Amino acid sequence: MRALVMSEPSAGSDRTAVRDIDVPRPGPGEVSIDVAHAGINFIDVMARRGDPGYASSWPYVPGLEVSGTVREVGPGVSGVLAGERVAAFTRGGGFAEVAVADAALVVPVPETVPTAVAAAAPLMLATALLLLTDVARVQPGETVLMQAAGGGVGSAVAQLVPVLGGGLRIGTVGRAAKVAAAREQGWDVALVRDADLVAGIRSAAPAGVDVVLDPAGTTLLDVDLDVAAPGARIVLFGNPGGGTPDPLPPLGRLIGGNVALAGFSISRLTATAPARVSGALRRVVELLADKRLDVAITEVATLAAVPEVHQRLAESRGSGKYVVALQ
Ligand SMILES: NC(=O)c1ccc[n+]([C@@H]2O[C@H](COP(=O)([O-])OP(=O)(O)OC[C@H]3O[C@@H](n4cnc5c(N)ncnc54)[C@H](OP(=O)(O)O)[C@@H]3O)[C@@H](O)[C@H]2O)c1
């Protein structure tokens, strides 16, 4: 079968190519899936460049979220049937004609949800939902700020905030050329991360922001703390630059600001509390099926085109969510 293989760590796409590899078989507790679409994520780029903890081994087949049809059910699996239309969180291996997933992280997808959209549910949409609900516990009418908001997770958060009853959505982007796209993705206010950022956020939310979702390591934490309302929840969930993040702020800034600081990793949650991830996945699929949630998807036609998309994400040139068609 065809699969996208990263042969060794690299800062560029020079070590990523489409190859023929053996079709994987499901082990105990697993299923294999004929992949229809696979979601493309910044996390693939972190694996590609060799950030610790992202690629399980080399050569590595990336891809953490897929949609498709269950091909084979492994020993001990109940509740998932061959032939079922599903979305699944995978442990890598998603950019392939056949992928294997833990049965606990596979959910059914109704015919009304296109597979191109369903492929964005396990990682992108489930992350956005868990960030807003489980971690930040967004309340009706609350103001949500997201840093680096123009990518896949950003577009999902922008769409989910009103579904959850949240209020004003403020998103930040790296340069002025991205403001219009961020507004189209749903951000009520889109601000460039320049020297005027804090003033811009304060002008949009004079009482401060209640929830901050920040995937930029600790580089923007000063800004987050400056604009946080009393009782705010700040969630850190990324490290796009790689390397060792700066230390967290002095305790006094958290205590004095009456602010809660949290971390989030959906990959770790799939290992430590899979039911929370599958619960979120079921909920976003339901929201898509009920047409209460919609997300714009850019579909990439072939596996061979994925390395260029990875490079686009690595250089902050992406916009919204990309998925690749496998069938
Ligand atoms: N912890 C978790 O469970 C979890 C789950 C999913 C994603 N994430 C993280 O959430 C972030 C968004 O993921 P995604 O898949 O939606 O990514 P994406 O589509 O590539 O969007 C990432 C955004 O981050 C910004 N960015 C800031 N610094 C960057 C850098 N050094 N390199 C590249 N982009 C940079 C870019 O835009 P501007 O700079 O122009 O704003 C870009 O739009 C990533 O950092 C990812 O690792 C974490």
Considering the domain architecture, whether residues 146 and 100 belong to the same structural domain is answered as no
For residue 274, being part of any structural domain is answered with no
Check if the beta carbon of residue 30 is closer than 8 Å to that of residue 76: no
User: Sign of torsion, CA 116 117 120 122?
Assistant: negative
Considering the domain architecture, whether residues 42 and 60 belong to the same structural domain is answered as yes
Q: For residue 246, what pLDDT is reported?
A: 86
Q: For residue 170, what pLDDT is reported?
A: 99
Side chain identity at residue 143, one-letter code: T
Considering the domain architecture, whether residues 90 and 162 belong to the same structural domain is answered as no
Which of 135, 153, 170 for mutating ligand 1's site (highest number of atoms within 8 Å of CB)? 153
Residue 208 to residue 206: CA distance in whole angstroms: 5
**Residue that terminates a domain, selected from 246, 266, 286:** 266
Considering the domain architecture, whether residues 137 and 228 belong to the same structural domain is answered as yes
Q: For residue 250, what pLDDT is reported?
A: 86
- Long-range contacts of the stretch 14-23 (C-beta < 8 A, 24+): 15/48, 16/48, 16/306, 16/307, 16/310, 17/307, 18/303, 18/304, 21/61, 21/96, 23/97, 23/98
User: Does the pTM of the predicted model rise above 0.85?
Assistant: yes
Considering the domain architecture, whether residues 153 and 208 belong to the same structural domain is answered as yes
Residue 24 to residue 209: CA distance in whole angstroms: 47
Which of 145, 146, 221, 316 for mutating ligand 1's site (highest number of atoms within 8 Å of CB)? 316
Residue whose C-alpha is closest to residue 99's, from 145, 39, 150: 39
For residue 95, being part of any structural domain is answered with yes
Q: For residue 281, what pLDDT is reported?
A: 98
Side chain identity at residue 26, one-letter code: P
Q: For residue 5, what pLDDT is reported?
A: 98
- Atom of ligand 1 at shortest range from CA of 269: 3
For residue 285, being part of any structural domain is answered with no
Q: Determine which residue's CA is closest to atom 27 belonging to ligand 1.
A: 148
For residue 288, being part of any structural domain is answered with no
122 lines ligand 1 (CB under 6 A): no
Considering the domain architecture, whether residues 41 and 162 belong to the same structural domain is answered as no
Distance of CA 42 from the midpoint of ligand 1 (Å): 6
Distance of CA 314 from the midpoint of ligand 1 (Å): 9
Contacts of 78 (CB under 8 A, 6+ apart): none
Q: For residue 190, what pLDDT is reported?
A: 98
Q: How far is Cα of residue 43 from the mean position of the Cα atoms in its chain? A: 8
DSSP letters spanning 170-206: EEEESSGGGHHHHHHTT-SEEEESSTTHHHHHHHH-T
Distance of CA 151 from the midpoint of ligand 1 (Å): 6
The domain in which residue 35 lies consists of: 2-120+295-325
**Helix/strand/coil (H/E/C) assignment for every residue in 21-60:** CCCCCCCCCEEEEEEEEEEECHHHHHHHCCCCCCCCCCCE
Contacts of 97 (CB under 8 A, 6+ apart): 1, 2, 3, 23, 34, 35, 326, 327
178 lines ligand 1 (CB under 6 A): yes
Side chain identity at residue 69, one-letter code: T
Distance of CA 23 from the midpoint of ligand 1 (Å): 31
For residue 272, being part of any structural domain is answered with no
Considering the domain architecture, whether residues 314 and 234 belong to the same structural domain is answered as no
Residue 115 to residue 67: CA distance in whole angstroms: 6
What are 169's strand-pairing partners?
Answer: 144
For residue 163, being part of any structural domain is answered with yes
Considering the domain architecture, whether residues 131 and 186 belong to the same structural domain is answered as yes
CATH number at residue 304: 3.90.180.10
Considering the domain architecture, whether residues 113 and 139 belong to the same structural domain is answered as no
**Residue that terminates a domain, selected from 266, 284, 314:** 266
Check if the beta carbon of residue 231 is closer than 8 Å to that of residue 137: no
- Atom of ligand 1 at shortest range from CA of 153: 16
Considering the domain architecture, whether residues 178 and 111 belong to the same structural domain is answered as no
**Residue that terminates a domain, selected from 250, 266, 282:** 266
For residue 287, being part of any structural domain is answered with no
**Residue 96 DSSP class:** B
- Atom of ligand 1 at shortest range from CA of 219: 28
Side chain identity at residue 4, one-letter code: L
With H, G, I as helix, E, B as strand and everything else as coil, classify residue 3.
strand
Residue 215 to residue 270: CA distance in whole angstroms: 19
Considering the domain architecture, whether residues 110 and 150 belong to the same structural domain is answered as no
Bond prior to 59 in cis (omega within 30° of 0):
yes
Mean pLDDT per block of 10 residues along the chain (327 residues) reads: 98 97 98 98 98 95 98 97 98 98 98 98 98 98 98 98 98 98 98 97 98 97 97 97 88 94 97 98 98 97 98 97 96
241 lines ligand 1 (CB under 6 A): yes
Considering the domain architecture, whether residues 239 and 163 belong to the same structural domain is answered as yes
Residue 297 to residue 271: CA distance in whole angstroms: 28
The structural domain count of the chain equals: 2
Residue 317 to residue 327: CA distance in whole angstroms: 27
- Atom of ligand 1 at shortest range from CA of 175: 40
For residue 301, being part of any structural domain is answered with yes
CATH number at residue 240: 3.40.50.720
